[in-house]
Amino acid sequence: MMRNLEIERVVLAAMGVGIARRSLEAMNAYATDRRAFGASLRDFGQIQRHIAESYSEYMAGKTYLYQTALGLDLDAAGNRLDTDGVKLYCTTMGKNVADRAIQVMGGYGYMGEYAVERLWRDAKLLEIGGGTLESHHKNMVRDMSQLDAMP
């Protein structure tokens, strides 16, 4: 049973990374194409911050996901610290990147005809599925109390 939960959490983390990637692509394209005050949106500092932070968090989550998936023993349980951690980080990161995409796109990001509105709703659901964020906090702290040193 625990092994299946660990696998599910890695899958949910991968979905969060995918949502972040798609949101980042939409945000980047919109900021490049959209003009305001005679300049591309991507020339404004706050927009640059949203795009740069989203890219950095996306790459960190992707790396953590790949590392966890590579080290996952599919035949046994016992990977809970990192499977909880990667699900905790990547699902929240996916929602945050989708939220920034909505912010960059303004009213268009909130409209159902644009993908980021759906991506944000899907990302929010990922934070609940496979165990709430709070349950992952509890599990991780419990597992970390038994470590002799940080990995």
Tokens for 1?
Answer: 């049973």
69-82 per-position pLDDT tens digit? 999 887 776 788 99
Identify the burial level of 108 via C-beta atoms within 10 angstroms of its C-beta, where 0-12 means exposed, 13-18 middle and 19 or more buried.
middle
For 109-138, what is the mean pLDDT?
88
Tell me which of 8, 57, 113, 127 is the catalytic residue. Answer: 8
Residue 76, SS3? coil
What pLDDT score does 100 carry? 97
Partners of residue 39 on adjacent β-strands:
36
Supply the pTM of this predicted model: 0.91
Count of CB atoms within 10 A of residue 94's CB? 32
3-43 per-position pLDDT tens digit? 788 999 999 999 999 999 999 999 999 999 999 999 999 99
Looking at the chain, the whole-number percentage of residues with pLDDT higher than 90 is: 71
- 112 Ramachandran zone, left/alpha/beta (phi>0; psi -120 to 50): alpha
For 118-131, what is the mean pLDDT?
91
Tell me the pLDDT of the chain averaged across its residues.
92
Which stretches of 34-44 are DSSP H helices? none
Is-catalytic flag, 57?
Answer: no
pLDDT exceeds cutoff 90 at 58: yes
Pick the most confident of 43-47, 128-132, 143-147.
Answer: 43-47
